[in-house]
A and B are shown apart, each in its own frame.
Chain A
Amino acid sequence: MGLKDKVAVMGVGCTKFGENFNRSYFDMIIEAVDEACADAKVGLPEIQAAWLGTTGRGHYEGAAGTSLSDPLRFFHGPVTKVSNYCASGLDAFRNGCFSVAAGMYEMVLVVGVEKMRDVGPRESLVAVAVGEGHPFHIKGRTAPGFFALLGQRYLHEYKQASKRHLAQISVKNHHNGSMNPIAHKGYPVDLETVMNAPEIAKPLGVLDACPTTDGAAAAIITTPELARKLQRDFVRVKGTGLSVGSFRSPFDPNFDFLSFPRTRDAARQAYLDAGIKNPFKEIDFAEVHDCFTITEMITYEDLGFCPQGEGWRFIEEGQSALDGRLPVNASGGLISCGHPIGATGMRMIYELTKQLQGKAGPRQIKNVQTGLAQNVGGPAAAGCVAILGH
């Protein structure tokens, strides 16, 4: 049982993340897929099946795999659309991996993509929160507003933690992102600027949050045997995990707003799959879901990188810095790269692969063997983890 060493990532591609006004949802898919195919030295006709991670209506055709098959003229194999909020990309990857591990397909394409800036920044996710959903319950919640609830409770519970620690995460990720050509907000910011940025949902300010972004990323996956036979520079999938819970977490009397139980469960599954017993020692670097700074801080704890309640210390001591013991978000994370919802998980796969292949340029972390990607989906509603390594 398990995925360990049964699937290889043979090629990856990623578009520029940003306000891609002059490129459509379809344009970005083609760009990311072409880059992945070139990286894998594989043509589209050789792809046997595809998985698409996306939450929106695609290029306005609604909820179906046609959002991927149409732009690529990929009519000869199945295309499955996967939606699990912000975990859509990694979950699509998971499912693609299952098909390879099951021996069903040998050459599989996974794409994550989202177009968010065809409307104003507040007309995207905020507008959905305002205009759609249950007509009575949860009216008033926005994405920053939800994660802010954790920020408030965390700062209340752990007296040594402060907004300064949150700001340090933003500074770190912007610094890393300034070395990442695909990042949306790829420029450094200093601590004072972050701390004094306008508040969006107490205690979070504008620079504690990821921007509204367009982007796409893709990967070609196969078996390690075939990848070796084709003499490609590949990385192995070591394990994955997914846990899905409740959209109504603020009404759940068991939710303590200090951790993401779905992340913990997903990580547990992935660590079991990968045979990892001491994450801090055995994971060399990670791409985590810093939709907001507080999310990253809590995720250090949820992934077992540090004890619960010590996430603030982890960033304060520089453990997660690029030159730290366990670099987190060397890519710049969601805060610097941006967060096209369905694409983010696949951007993480792209970054893990480039780092493991030694192709991360000025962001390169030395001596990496095992990397972890993690998403939180929705209001603590889902958690997804994937571990890649040599």
Chain B
Amino acid sequence: MVGIAALGAYIPRYRLSGKMLAQAWGTGGSSSSKVAVANHDEDTITMATEAVQTALTLGSISAGEIDALFFCSTTPPFKEKLSSAVVAAVCDMRKDVQTVDFCNSVRAVSTAIQTALDGLEQGRLAKVVIVATEMRQGEPSSALEAQLGACSVAMVLGKESLLFEIVSRTQENSTFTDYWRRDTDLEVQSGDPRFIQQQGYLTVMPAVIQAALAEKSLAFADMAKVLLSAPDRTSLKGLLKELQLPQPQGQECMTALNAIGYSGTAMAPMLLAGNLSGLRSGDRVLWANYGDGADVTILRATSQLEAACGELAESYDRQLKAGVEVPGYGRYLRFRQAVAAHDYQPWNSLALSWREETQNLRFYGSCCEDCKTVQFPQRGVCITCGGRHLHEQKLAKTGVVYTYTVDHLFLTDNPPLAMACVDLTGGGRFYGQVTDAVADSVTIGMPVRLTLRKLHEGLNTHNYFWKFRPVE
């Protein structure tokens, strides 16, 4: 049996509300809705690393067990350079792990799932991480700006200790053009809403859903949850009416659209991650994804899920509730580089980046065999005792603030910059930027997490490093 063995979601801290957009533009979004948006230092790689690490932790799976990492996004940070390889390195996976980027379609995660299943069934792979991560942009003041959300969800597909067994998969491809982005476009484009809903979403989705049910001689009544991915509320309402779903089935996507937004490849996985409460062993879930066609996966929950769903739900709910408004719409535009952002390109070196990958991306310091001091950066001579016998030691990604400051001079797109000096759990002291927090809210003794973020664009590339963020 193959299926989903672990799940982890990452919802960024910031929210952009319909209310703020209405104040800025006089239009945009319903007054109660908001979308999750990335901070200035986040991208789909950084968000993916969060979701993957959460999935592995919640699933008690070690990075070394993973055979493949599939990165799914229509907004990868690189057009040439594997995002999956970066995520695999940051998550400290084996060097022989198969890294693949699945791009160009909001349904890419479905292709990734099918590819993973093929590998699992052939016996070539035992555990596969699939991470869907998205940061699509709408043009400022457009309807899409109020609609598109950023987030990331990771799943581990495997053959044992499953949360969900995969019962069936049904799909239909389509060249129908409703949402698209050319290589030269920064923002998503879309067609006439009524046309694309009627001839696109409301034509393809019901057909594939009915086909999936018929294939297994099942009905909606046999489903504990019906999770329908939709690009907007109107489309979803239309689908629910078309399918004549008994209330309150199918409403889950509405909640997600109102709280996170339409998150492209991450939409369908986020629906799963956010709607686990109340599932019992043996329950069926109908999971529908839309974009360049549609597909339906029928899942069956296991006793493992029944036991784990509380913890999984808590992780999701905590992040959802921790959302805070972006510090101003002008500031947000600078995050998105829609207005002049700092073009921060300090001195950088490819050779140094390569040489220090284990230290800087995989987050390994040194441990002195004589005095046991854990230290960062890695050293050849112990900082405490001068000893010469040091081995590499993976550092913890949690700690407590020893001292900090709020700096008003250093260049940042989200000033002022809080810098903290943190005692890491298990040893080592780390000094770095604090992100996702109001700078003045940092305190000595505060617990923090380490999070991977974009540091700068030196040498005209994205450079990633660790920062601190508050524990929710």
Contacts and interface: CB of A to CB of B under 8 A. Distances in A.
A250 interface: yes
A149 B384 contact: no
Contacts of A257: 402-403, 421
B403 A135 contact: no
Interface stretch (A22-30, A137-145, A213-221, A339-347): A137-145
B346 A149 contact: no
Nearest to B464: A136
Nearest to B374: A253
Contacts of B444: 152-153, 156
B421 A135 contact: no
B377 interface: yes
A202 B410 contact: no
Interface stretch (A126-134, A179-187, A359-367): A126-134
A135 B346 contact: yes
B374 A149 contact: no
B346 A131 contact: yes
A145 B427 contact: no
Interface string B344-388: 101111001100100010000000000001111100000110000
A169 interface: no
Contacts of B427: 253
Interface in A112-165: 122, 126, 129-142, 144-145, 148-153, 156
Interface in B302-354: 344, 346-349, 352-353
Given A144-B409, A149-B404, A201-B407, A136 B376 contact: no
Interface stretch (B67-75, B190-198, B429-437): B429-437
Which residue, of A134, A135, A148, A201, has the highest number of chain B Cβ atoms within 10 A? A135
B417 interface: yes
Contacts of A122: 409
B433 A140 contact: yes
B377 A251 contact: yes
A196 interface: no
Given A136-B360, A136-B455, A139-B455, A246 B383 contact: yes
Contacts of B404: 149, 152
Interface string A186-230: 000000000000111111000000000000000000000000000
Nearest to B444: A156
A203 B410 CA distance: 16
A253 B408 CA distance: 26
A253 to B, nearest CB: 5
Contacts of B356: 136
Contacts of A248: 377
Contact of B405 (A129, A201, A246, A253): A201
A136 B412 CA distance: 15
Which residue, of B344, B353, B405, B410, has the highest number of chain A Cβ atoms within 10 A? B405
Contact of A145 (B346, B349, B419, B428): B419
A126 B410 contact: yes
A278 interface: no
Interface string B427-462: 111111100000010001000000000011010000
A152 B403 contact: yes
A252 interface: yes
Given A131-B347, A132-B346, A149-B421, A142 B352 contact: no
Given A135-B348, A140-B432, A126 B409 contact: yes
Contacts of B100: none
Contacts of B419: 140-141, 145, 149
A123 to B, nearest CB: 11
B261 to A, nearest CB: 30
A360 B405 CA distance: 38
A254 interface: yes
Contact of A142 (B348, B349, B383, B407): B407
B173 interface: no
A198 B409 CA distance: 12
A141 B408 CA distance: 11
Interface in A242-301: 246, 248, 250-255, 257
B458 A135 contact: yes
B240 interface: no
Which residue, of A150, A201, A253, has the highest number of chain B Cβ atoms within 10 A? A253
B375 A253 contact: yes
Interface string B175-206: 00000000000000000000000000000000
B408 A139 contact: no
B406 interface: yes
Contacts of A252: 375, 383, 429
Given A122-B409, A135-B455, 4 more contacts: A142-B409, A201-B405, A253-B384, A254-B384
19 contacts: A129-B410, A131-B346, A131-B347, A135-B346, A136-B360, A136-B455, A137-B431, A139-B465, A140-B407, A141-B410, A142-B409, A149-B403, A152-B403, A153-B403, A198-B408, A250-B421, A252-B375, A253-B383, A257-B421
Give 6 closest A-B pairs by Cβ, nearest first.
A250-B431, A148-B405, A153-B403, A145-B407, A202-B406, A135-B348
Interface of A: 122, 126, 129-142, 144-145, 148-153, 156, 198-203, 246, 248, 250-255, 257
